[in-house]
Amino acid sequence: MIFYFSGTGNSLEAAKSIGNYNDERLISISKEMNSENRSFEYTLKDNEVIGFVFPVYAWAPPKMVLQFIEKLKINNYNDNYIFSVATCGENIGDTMKVLDNCLNKKGMKLSSGFSIVMPNNYIIMGNIDSKEVENKKLQFAQEILKNINIIIKERRVDIFQVEKGFLPGILTSVINPLFNKYAMNTKKFNVNNKCTGCRICEKVCNSKIIRVKEKPEWGNACTQCLACIHFCPVKAIEYGKNTQNKGRYKNPNISISEMQITI
């Protein structure tokens, strides 16, 4: 049972690879969180693994992933193997510690954890990778996934293969709270007159806060996944001036229809 969250497809590519290799079902966290009929109750088969696959946001799991775990009810849990994969542009700080603390509160424990460096999609600061770097990262990610798949299949515990970066404690415990406090604002999203009203932004929004009348309008509870900006086919959506003249990215191995959050 693999729970995943993805803004631009990298984490979904990783989740699909692990799901296929290990014959595990995939469950979209944002679909579950947005569904009206939500019990957040799941029943494990004997010896079934539990996985959490998501992008790292400011050196921690996305808020929606932690909120989902807080609500989770797992039936038939008997110290099942739990893994996590965080995809990132560079490094993940103490993301696995944050996730494990959240699981501990539910009486669960992370068995093994991994990070995979994949193309960067955080264009509010910085830019996307060059095509050459993007291709190299995607190729290397496939190699890393082969290794992760074997470790998960063999249920190997206490394997933490993570790129933490410099001063991971500070990144996660100081910068992440600042990000959560100040950077989640939706006021800076705007749309220019290239917008055709195609509604793709509405469909890929993980928080289901975009409503397109003629053009998109944003509500408040945004996760900053940036799917609206990256999937806009005419590059009509910007975040203040931060994203102007920056590239757009979507994982080439994932289709737009796989990214739509239909409830």
Ligand X SMILES: Cc1cc2nc3c(=O)[nH]c(=O)nc-3n(C[C@H](O)[C@H](O)[C@H](O)COP(=O)(O)O)c2cc1C
Extended strands (E) in the chain: 2-4, 26-28, 41-43, 50-55, 73-75, 82-88, 112-117, 160-161, 189-191, 210-212, 216-218, 237-239
User: Does the footprint of ligand X cover residue 239 (CB under 6 A)?
Assistant: no
Would you count residue 243 as binding ligand X (CB under 6 A)? no
CB of 6 to ligand X, least distance (A): 3
Position 206 contacts ligand X (CB under 6 A): no
Both structure tokens of 214: 């003629």
* Identity of residue 34: N
User: And the tokens for 152?
Assistant: 């998960």
Between 115 and 134, how does the x/- string for binding to ligand X read (CB under 6 A)? ---xxxxx------------
Strand order across the 50-55 sheet: 26-28, 2-4, 50-55, 82-88, 112-117, 160-161
Q: Is 3 in the site for ligand X (CB under 6 A)?
A: no
Q: How far is the CB of 185 from ligand X (least distance, A)?
A: 12
Place of tokens 């893994």: 83
Does 6 contact ligand X by CB under 6 A?
Answer: yes
Task: Kindly state the helix (H) or strand (E) to which residue 141 belongs, with its residue range.
Answer: helix 131-153
Q: Which stretch binds ligand X (CB under 6 A): 3-11, 67-75, 96-104, 240-248?
A: 3-11
Is residue 17 a contact residue for ligand X (CB under 6 A)? Answer: no
* By CB under 6 A, residue 259 contacts ligand X: no
Lay out the site mask for ligand X across 87-116 (x = CB under 6 A, - = otherwise): xxxxx-------------------------
Binding site for ligand X (CB under 6 A): 6-11, 55-59, 87-91, 118-122, 224-226, 251
